[in-house]
Amino acid sequence: MAAPTTGVAIIGAGLSGLTLALALHRQNIPCILYESREASLDIGGAIMLSPNALKILDALGIYDKIAPLGYHFEELYFHSDDDKPVDTFEFGSQTKHAYKALRIYRYELINVLVSMVRDAGIPVQYNKKFTHVVSSSSSSVTWAFADGSSATAKLLVGADGIHSRVRKHLYPDLVPKFTNMIGVTAVVPREQLQAGPDYPLPVTIMSPKHGAFVIAPQRADGSEVLIGKQRRLQQEYDRAGWDELMENKTWCVDFLREGSADFPPIVANAVTDIPLKGINLWPFYLVPKLDTWAKGRVVILGDAAHAIPPTAGQGVNQAFEDVYTFAGVVARVRDQKQSEDDEQDAVRISKALKNWQLGRQARVDLVLDLNDKLNKRRLPDAVKAGVFEPFDMDWLYGVDFDQMIAEWAS
């Protein structure tokens, strides 16, 4: 039997889902979270947050709690394989955008979000795997879980990641596309680099032969660094195959060490001793551009709607933009409600959500465009040709989300 109708039901208690719950709570919109796992997904070590996302996390009262936990920086540095600086990329700026960038372990961010969700009294049900939508009307939607139970809400939001099951309701045949790029990462103490305190970090060192090697400090004091290498891989695996490859630590260590003699000494130092515990493998998938992120009372956001390649480091940052603006738009529509007519209500919410999706997609498109520009700068010929003009990042970091919400919900 379906449970009584709640306001917004969120499938997935990952970064998007948990933050969405807090954003809705701030707007006095009741919600509930359902997560298929025993705990929220914790993959890939640390993530980098830029001012656009940090502004949102600040508005939700999250920033003050996470700021002491992470490593603050402003620029990403790019070097050639003979260790010459060729480019920089602004990831944050205290003076220009009010926030330095923050690199923080995903589990630390999740812990803060989970405890805030608990303190707010928002229910979270773990081991609840969404399977499919059973029925949908102008006023509610009912769906099923893998354990045979079902539930009903006014809005169902799929924040269930790149392999989203909720997305199947909108696009039954869509499967994310493998980009033939993978990244393998590990964690080593900073002192292992044997680089002086003035060596610019985070750095990406680009080899025409072996791809990009990344070194990025983490922990509040920068005492450990992520080391990572990206390169092409022709073969695609299924999920079990990727897991097996990640568990093959010898393969991962060999991948990280391959060609290190052709990089500057800092790379050879970085890979001398690689603890197996912190190794991660990240196959880069993308979700093709979708015409719509909503069907009736079912909406998708975060990676479910637009998983994007990691070049500009915007994956999770764009997900935070989705959730904040989504909650704002839904609250505005509620505040403007003029009658109890379900049909009219459905028309108004679907119009506002269409505006929201088009506005958000336009920003995601600009990020994809930035990815392309950055990829071009990383081509061997471009690297050889020399130093580049810095990008103006104001369009990405300096936006007013509340103004966007007002426009989309009007």
Ligand X SMILES: Cc1cc2nc3c(=O)[nH]c(=O)nc-3n(C[C@H](O)[C@H](O)[C@H](O)COP(=O)(O)OP(=O)(O)OC[C@H]3O[C@@H](n4cnc5c(N)ncnc54)[C@H](O)[C@@H]3O)c2cc1C
Query: Quick check: 40 binds ligand X (CB under 6 A)?
Result: yes
Query: Quick check: 66 binds ligand X (CB under 6 A)?
Result: no
Query: Quick check: 202 binds ligand X (CB under 6 A)?
Result: no
- Shortest approach of ligand X to residue 185 CB, angstroms? 7
CA dist 306 and 291 (Å) reads 11
Lay out the site mask for ligand X across 288-307 (x = CB under 6 A, - = otherwise). --------------xx----
- Shortest approach of ligand X to residue 50 CB, angstroms? 9
Among 21, 24, 35, 270, binds ligand X (CB under 6 A): 35
- Tell me which residue of 221, 308, 212, 224 sits closest to 256, measured CA to CA: 212
The answer to whether the CB of 215 falls within 8 A of the CB of 202 is: yes
Among 2, 7, 27, 37, binds ligand X (CB under 6 A): 37
CA dist 55 and 51 (Å) reads 6
Helix, strand, coil distribution of the chain in percent, nearest 5? 40, 25, 35
Lay out the site mask for ligand X across 172-191 (x = CB under 6 A, - = otherwise). --------------------
**HEC per residue, 245-297:** HHHCHHHHHHHHHCCHHHCCHHHHHHCCCCCHHHCEEEEEEECCCCCCCEECC
The answer to whether the CB of 358 falls within 8 A of the CB of 153 is: no
Query: Quick check: 321 binds ligand X (CB under 6 A)?
Result: no
Query: Quick check: 278 binds ligand X (CB under 6 A)?
Result: no
Query: Quick check: 12 binds ligand X (CB under 6 A)?
Result: yes
Query: Quick check: 370 binds ligand X (CB under 6 A)?
Result: no
Query: Quick check: 14 binds ligand X (CB under 6 A)?
Result: yes
Q: Which stretch binds ligand X (CB under 6 A): 33-41, 75-83, 118-126, 234-242?
A: 33-41
Among 75, 160, 224, 345, binds ligand X (CB under 6 A): 160
Query: Quick check: 159 binds ligand X (CB under 6 A)?
Result: yes
Query: Quick check: 309 binds ligand X (CB under 6 A)?
Result: no
The CA-based angle 79-364-58, given to 5 degrees, is 85
Q: For residue 213, which amino acid is it?
A: F
2: left (phi over 0), alpha (psi -120 to 50) or beta: beta
C-beta closer to ligand X: residue 53 or 383: 53
Lay out the site mask for ligand X across 116-155 (x = CB under 6 A, - = otherwise). -------------xx-------------------------
Q: Which stretch binds ligand X (CB under 6 A): 36-44, 168-176, 260-268, 373-381?
A: 36-44
- Shortest approach of ligand X to residue 110 CB, angstroms? 9
DSSP H helices in 9-166: 15-26, 51-59, 63-66, 94-97, 106-119
Applying CB under 6 A, the site for ligand X has a residue count of 33
Among 9, 17, 245, 321, binds ligand X (CB under 6 A): 17
CA dist 189 and 376 (Å) reads 32
Q: Which stretch binds ligand X (CB under 6 A): 157-165, 271-279, 328-336, 381-389?
A: 157-165
Indicate the pairing of strand 211-218 with strand 203-207. Answer: antiparallel
Query: Quick check: 280 binds ligand X (CB under 6 A)?
Result: yes
Tracing tokens 């975060």 back to the chain, one arrives at 302
C-beta closer to ligand X: residue 109 or 383: 109
With a CB cutoff of 8 Å and minimum separation 6, the contacts of 306 are 287, 289, 290, 318, 361, 364
Lay out the site mask for ligand X across 248-277 (x = CB under 6 A, - = otherwise). ------------------------------
- Shortest approach of ligand X to residue 239 CB, angstroms? 12
Residue-wise over 8-24: b if at least 16 C-beta within 10 A, else e? Answer: bbbbbbbbbbbbbbbbb
Supply the angle between the helices 106-119 and 15-26 in degrees, to the nearest 10: 30
Q: Which stretch binds ligand X (CB under 6 A): 149-157, 246-254, 255-263, 315-323?
A: 315-323
The answer to whether the CB of 70 falls within 8 A of the CB of 103 is: yes
- Residue 78: strand pairing partners: 87, 204
Interface ranges with ligand X (CB under 6 A): 11-17, 34-37, 40-41, 43-44, 47-48, 129-130, 159-161, 165, 280, 282, 302-303, 310, 313, 315-317, 319
